[in-house]
Amino acid sequence: MRALQLHVDSIEYEPVQVEGRVFEEVDRRRYRVEEAVVLFTSVERDDTPEVAAEMLRQVASFMERLGVKRLLIYPYAHLSPELARPEKALEILRRMEAEARSMGLEVYRAPFGWNKRFTLSVKGHPLAEQLRVVTKDDVVARKEERAQVGAVQERAQRAEHVAERAEREPLHIRLGRELDVFSVNENVGSGLILFHPNGAIIREELIRLIREVNRRLGFREVWTPHLFRSTLWQRTGHYETFRDRMFLFRIGDEEYVLKPMNCPGHAMIYASSTRSYRDLPVKLSEFGTVYRNEQPGELTGLLRVRSITQDDGHVFARPDQVEQVVREILFAAFEVLDRVLGAPVHVNLSTRPERHIGTKELWDLAESDLKAALESTGIRYEIKHGEGAFYGPKIDVDVEDSMGRRWQCSTIQLDFFMPERLGLEYVDQDGTRKRPVMIHRAILGSLERFTGLLLEHYNGRLPVWLSPLQAVVLPVRSAQSGYAEVVLRALLEAGIRAELWTEGTLEKRIREAHRRRASFAVIVGEAEEGSGTVSVRDHEGKVARNVALGDFVEWIRGLVERRERNVGSIDDVLAGRSSGGKT
């Protein structure tokens, strides 16, 4: 990490233009900070949070000597040719800001991802300007130095560091609150998510996408109750192995369980009638909510909850059908994850563990089928020997988000165990009764966790088709309110989620639209009303002027229908329909 440290009388800076795809939402106005240390900072490729902490330690020590409490962290890419990926750089800068506050400093941070105009007045003393460079080697040396203070003090420092990290709020929780997506209320209970209207929109769009995929794959949607008698869970073996994670209660003399998974219900639907080999594969799907008694210390925002809605699916297949079914699900999962996130995926195949059910021959066949399905996709995968479930091998698909973190999303698991425990059968061609293979499948995983991933991956600015607020109509003056109503009605009739805002100055309304991550601000003034057009402002501040209303409606509806990953940017198509181009 390289930083130019300046002790200043004052600095004024103003975000001018977004640079690159990773940037922070900010008001485009002039900012001023006085009597401060300014840290022009370049985050380098090999930097870690520990490197950033060491840099802060050195800067804080210098500030204490000067008697200065005010720090401005200023992202500045021009100090190094070996810059980190922007997602990583932004994450480290945010951590620096949080850690500096925990040191008791008054901290400001200039926005990341913007070209900025600045002027400053530097103090005249000899220490006013210093260049600092901190590397991993410096961190190692610092650790060795700290080790000499003694084991007791080191343990205390580690405990304090862990506590500080635990107090840091995950990004999706902050965004969920700011964007009115979800909340957790202590009167409802920990780990029980309340999705607000904005969150319900995101969920519904994801469900609609997966329903389309399910129909294409031949799944038929079912519904099962939220609770089953405990005797069913005893038959499946979950009562014995999963009981401490279950919510149990009694109704009269009978014990019931809030279902922690959907699979036994789907198995009972399969068992409700005699199945022929010609009927297989039987494919059932459900957006089922399950309940797991996670421990309070494990609950984290949307990522670890007690009430979980899964895009669940189960296939009951003949052994000779497994490879084809798995291949189809894999291709669908890759397509969905690419369409929604456009991020790298990492695939794992987990094989027979030491403790397992079923014969070695059956496992070898199942693993061979999964390998063949994976290899038919052409994607690289890693084999995790001995890490399969006791009831069958599995494929997991992890996605790498914009900050380089991996999230498990899709999973495909083969199950020999449940068909045996529940007596599932089909009549084969020769008239004998045989066990089907049960395939557990999810593409997104849980809607709660995937929503958290979306918020963090896109920093709250979702693709237009997922955005709760796709357009806000802003009349320049009250005289254009009538025409603004016409524009609003045209958008709503096209299925676009739009609102009309009239209160406050135009500049204030534009800022609020930006803060709320509205995909586009649609501005209508006297000229637009006279020509039947609109001027469209995107999240980067670019404007397509005097676009015919019908053209804009057609264009934004196309973004939604195609589910493009456009997060609210004017593209060349819309710019080409603007009489003033893109400015």
Question: Which two tokens mark 490?
Answer: 């045209």
Question: Which two tokens mark 51?
Answer: 């490197």
Query: Would you give the distance in Å from CA 160 to the centre of its chain?
Result: 29
Residues 170-203 as b/e (b if ≥16 CB within 10 A, e otherwise) read ebbbebbeebebbebeeeeeebebebeebbebbb
Distance in angstroms (rounded) separating the CA atoms of residues 387 and 241? 17
Strands 106-109 and 114-122, by their bridges, are unpaired
User: Is-catalytic flag, 292?
Assistant: yes
Distance in angstroms (rounded) separating the CA atoms of residues 183 and 503? 27
DSSP assignment of 179-245: TT-EEE-TTT-TT-EEE-HHHHHHHHHHHHHHHHHHHHHT-EE----SEEEHHHHHHHTHHHHSGGG
Of 7, 259, 275, 292, the catalytic one is 292
Please report where in the chains the tokens 């709250």 appear, as a residue: 460
Cis peptide before 281 (omega within 30 of 0): yes
Of 311, 312, 369, 415, the catalytic one is 312
User: Is-catalytic flag, 394?
Assistant: yes
User: Is-catalytic flag, 88?
Assistant: no
User: Is-catalytic flag, 409?
Assistant: no
Question: Which two tokens mark 166?
Answer: 């635990």
User: Is-catalytic flag, 263?
Assistant: yes
Distance in angstroms (rounded) separating the CA atoms of residues 557 and 318? 43
| CA distances to 86, 113, 254, 399, 483 from 403, in Å | 8, 14, 49, 11, 43
- 8 Å CB contact between 194 and 185: yes
Cα angle 235, 238, 244 (rounded to 5 degrees) comes to 140
Residue 296 is classified by DSSP as G
Distance in angstroms (rounded) separating the CA atoms of residues 113 and 75? 8
Of 238, 259, 314, 509, the catalytic one is 314
User: Is-catalytic flag, 385?
Assistant: no
Residues 131-161 as b/e (b if ≥16 CB within 10 A, e otherwise) read ebebeeebbeebeeeeeeeeeeeeeeeeeee
Of 310, 321, 413, 470, the catalytic one is 310
Q: What are the backbone dihedrals phi and psi of residue 310, each rounded to the nearest 5 degrees, phi first? A: -105, 150
User: Is-catalytic flag, 310?
Assistant: yes
Distance in angstroms (rounded) separating the CA atoms of residues 228 and 213? 29
DSSP assignment of 142-192: HHHHHHTT-HHHHHHHHHHHHHHHHHSPPHHHHHHHHTT-EEE-TTT-TT-
Of 5, 172, 259, 263, the catalytic one is 263
Helix axes 197-217, 447-457, angle to 10 degrees: 110
Distance in angstroms (rounded) separating the CA atoms of residues 391 and 452? 30
Of 2, 356, 440, 509, the catalytic one is 440
- Candidates 290, 289, 279, 311; CA nearest to 214 is 311
Q: Which residues are catalytic?
A: 263, 292, 310, 312, 314, 394, 440
